[in-house]
Amino acid sequence: MKKIVTSCLLIFCIALSALMQSCGSVAITGRKQVLLFDSGQIASLSNDAYSEVMSTATLSKNTNMTKMVQDVGFRLSQAVISYMTQNGRGQQMAAYNWGFVCIDSKEVNAFCLPNGKVVAYEGIMPFASTADRLAVVIGHEMGHVIANHGNERMSQETIVKMVGAAGDAVLSGKSEQTRAIFNTAFGLGTSLGVLMPYSRTHEYEADRLGLIFMAMAGFDINQAPVFWEQMSQNSGPKPPEFLSTHPSDANRMARLRATIPEASQYAPRR
Ligand SMILES: [Zn+2]
């Protein structure tokens, strides 16, 4: 009995000290979050996942689509890098190795891995038919990455596992447990490239950051609510993958519209 109490106490202390060391805050929004994994660990797992996705994918042969994904992604990343560097978050930006590819697939999907690799499927391009609308998609996905939502989700899962005493093993490096948590957090274990739905908090935050990144890079932020609305109206009986992982509702549209004045303050002065 005494042994059980001692080990429970030990696990509690490990959990508590991990939490105390790893409180962070999201850039721009300032929301406090617990991040238990270091960025190198996440980047390494992301590199593996990206190689795996790309090993079975075919790059788009459509040069217009490819160029648009690269140009829009590049503009957004440059704006974000310059803002974050000027605001004391240069170290965080060093963890990303930005890259933008368009994949030959009818799937209506796009995602950004935590190492900064953005993948857009040809199937989403009819919805993101202009540079501004594509910036909505890529800006939103970059928002999840800059806000460390993946690390946060992995950390939340680890805290649950810590209660079951597996946490210290999980945190000890690129172990099997860490890989399993990464795969769960990113849905990569079951269907490559299809991310698990984010929580509503994460979605709203990615919307807000995406809109601000769009403004920083000089895109038309008024296209964001238009894009989401059109996407939900044209989705048909089975919602496209991108939409089903990004619930579109009236509250979300209202919040997006309400964020436009804030985001517009980040636009470059003309
Ligand atoms: Zn999202």
- Is residue 225 within 8 Å of residue 256, measured between CB atoms? yes
Inform me whether the pLDDT recorded for 118 exceeds 70: yes
**Where in 50-191 does DSSP place strands (E)?**
99-103, 110-112, 117-121
Tell me which range, 4-13, 17-26, 71-80, 155-164, is most confidently predicted by mean pLDDT. Answer: 71-80
Q: Is residue 89 classed as helix, strand or coil in its secondary structure?
A: coil
- 40 CA to middle of ligand 1, Å? 23
Query: How far is the centre of ligand 1, averaged over its atoms, from the C-alpha of 135 (Å)?
Result: 13
Distance 245 CA to ligand 1 centre (A): 7
Mean pLDDT along residues 173-190:
65
**Distance (Å) from CA 18 to ligand 1 centroid:** 27
Between the CA of 6 and the centroid of ligand 1 the distance, in Å, is 42
* Cα-to-centroid distance, 203 and ligand 1 (Å): 5
pLDDT value for 36: 87
Cα(first)–Cα(last) distance of the chain, in Å?
Answer: 70
For the whole prediction, is pTM greater than 0.95?
no
Could you tell me the distance, in angstroms and rounded to a whole number, from the CA of residue 216 to the centre of ligand 1?
19
Kindly report the average pLDDT of the chain as a whole number.
83
* Residue 237 reports pLDDT greater than 50: yes
Average pLDDT over residues 229-240: 75
CA of 198 to the centre of ligand 1 (A): 6
Dist CA 10 CA 21 (whole Å): 16
Mean pLDDT of 148-175: 70
- The alpha carbon of 171 and the centre of ligand 1 are apart by a number of angstroms equal to 26
Q: Is the CB of residue 137 less than 8 Å from the CB of residue 113?
A: no
Query: What would the two tokens of residue 248 be?
Result: 């579109």
**In terms of pLDDT, which residue wins out, 75 or 6?**
75
Task: Find tokens 């991310």 and name the residue.
Answer: 195
Q: Using pLDDT thresholds of 50, 70 and 90, give the confidence band for residue 173.
A: low
Q: Is the pLDDT of residue 10 over 70?
A: no
CA of 126 to the centre of ligand 1 (A): 19
* Residue 50 to residues 56, 70, 115, 147, Cα–Cα distance (Å): 10, 17, 9, 20
Distance (Å) from CA 12 to ligand 1 centroid? 33
CA–CA dist 14, 205 (Å, integer):
30
Q: Is the pLDDT of residue 252 over 80?
A: yes
* Structure tokens that stand for 250 in this block: 């009236």
pLDDT recorded at residue 241: 73
- Over residues 239-249, the mean pLDDT reads 74
Q: Residue 185 has what pLDDT?
A: 66
Res 257: pLDDT: 94
Q: Which two tokens stand for residue 111?
A: 């995602």
